[in-house]
Amino acid sequence: MKSKVLIVNPASSGKMIRPKLQDNYIRCDVYFDSEHDPKGMLDTIHIDNYDQNVSGFSLDALKNEHYDAVIAGSELGVELADKLASALGLPGNSPSTTGLRRNKDEMQEALKQHGLAYIQTFLVDMDGKGLSELNDMKCSKYIIKPVNSAGSENVYFCNSRDEVINKISSLPWGKINSTGKRNDQFLVQEFIEGEEYVLDLIVNGDQLALVAICKYVKGQSGDNPFVYNRLELLDPDDPELAPIRAYAVAATRALDIRYGLVHMELMLSPSQGPVMIEAATRIHGGVAPSLFESCYSPSLLDALTLLVAEKRVPEQDSKLIKQGRVYFHVNKHAANFSGVDPVSDGKLRRIASLIDYFVTAKEGQALPATEDLFTCPCLVWLANDNAFDLESDIQEVEHILNGVFHRELIGA
């Protein structure tokens, strides 16, 4: 009998799940909860492409659909997917421990309780409650971020304790962030130095496979630690990455992750080794899963298809079969954006390594200097058998996009 899945709140890269599964003859129904989508991320769902919209179904009606799996289509779907999988008697992650996978304070505490390297963390309220714990932190640089958020949204870097104290009053208290959660508490964490990695794993009970591992390369933007220039795909089979993989597996168990995709960010600290920043039980966001289709075997989406269709994960970690990069364009200056002109588009399309590019900015928009992934105006993904040719093509992409985005500088 054909497999059948329920995809909850597909947004961003989560929209890639349906076509991949349907191409493999897996029926895909959709459940979306637009009430908890403050940024309108779910507005781009093309409902007609799904086999059935079951958003208004009762629990009894959903049980009668006889699903094989419930899949979170984005961070917006993680909590609800846990609840639905449990209620429908399907494999999933326990709703009683969802906080370990959504609350960044609970994540770090779980690592600590399991004897893993962790980040010193404490909670602070709008009235400053909890700030006294700052005196117990033995570090000179700090990160402030919401308890629940995604990407680098509302994340701040502070160079001193005084900066932390002064920043508290101006945080976006009460604001609903992109995950649908209200910013009623923030975390203060020690800033971990080192190289930043992202890992994507797939889990089925005690079975686990690493399907992608990448490293961020930071851009040149002063002291801002949130400006990225590119994401480099690495080979999961590289022996030098074995300690990172081992830590990620242990962290996955510490967070009580028993089923589905895992997206984990961690730092390789010179003093501590691998240290998890945060993790999520969802697909890797942005354009990376599309690049993985060309560069990994099996790809992330291949592994998800296998989990649904055969209820197992790949017997071995994925292999890197082609060099791949995601290039994040960095606007060094504020500028007005008038669109990608046909000549520039043609030049980009003729680059041999280019798979595609995505402009996040709108024509006529005044763009700030890039400060994080949310203010990155364009993402480009490329793949090539030859690393030298790939790097050369990235340099050409950067040159072309500098002409596009720096055409009308503000204040120049």
Tell me the pairing of strands 319-320 and 52-53.
unpaired
CA distance 120 to 112: 9
CATH, residue 36: 3.40.50.20
One domain for residues 204 and 307: yes
Average pLDDT over residues 93-109: 96
For residue 374, what pLDDT band results from cuts at 50, 70 and 90? confident
CATH, residue 232: 3.30.470.20
Domain end residue (candidates: 136, 156, 190): 190
How much is the pTM?
0.92
One domain for residues 315 and 386: no
Q: What is the pLDDT of residue 38?
A: 59
Q: What is the pLDDT of residue 220?
A: 57
Question: Does pLDDT of 188 surpass 80?
Answer: yes
CA distance 409 to 114: 51
Question: Does pLDDT of 323 surpass 80?
Answer: yes
Instruction: Specify the range with the lowest mean pLDDT, choosing from 55-59, 60-64, 217-221.
Output: 217-221
Average pLDDT over residues 128-143: 85
Domain end residue (candidates: 42, 74, 90): 90
List the one residue out of 142, 103, 155, 111 whose CA is nearest residue 372.
155
Instruction: Specify the range with the lowest mean pLDDT, choosing from 8-22, 202-216, 217-231, 361-375.
Output: 217-231
One domain for residues 221 and 344: no
For residue 243, what pLDDT band results from cuts at 50, 70 and 90? very high
Question: Does pLDDT of 86 surpass 80?
Answer: yes
**How many domains, the chain?**
4
One domain for residues 245 and 302: yes
Q: pLDDT tens, 255-291? A: 999 999 999 999 999 999 999 999 999 999 999 999 9
- Domain enclosing residue 338, as ranges: 323-412
Domain end residue (candidates: 190, 207, 223): 190
CATH, residue 368: 3.90.1170
- Taking a C-beta distance cutoff of 8 angstroms, is the pair 104, 244 a contact? no
Q: pLDDT tens, 31-42? A: 988 776 656 667
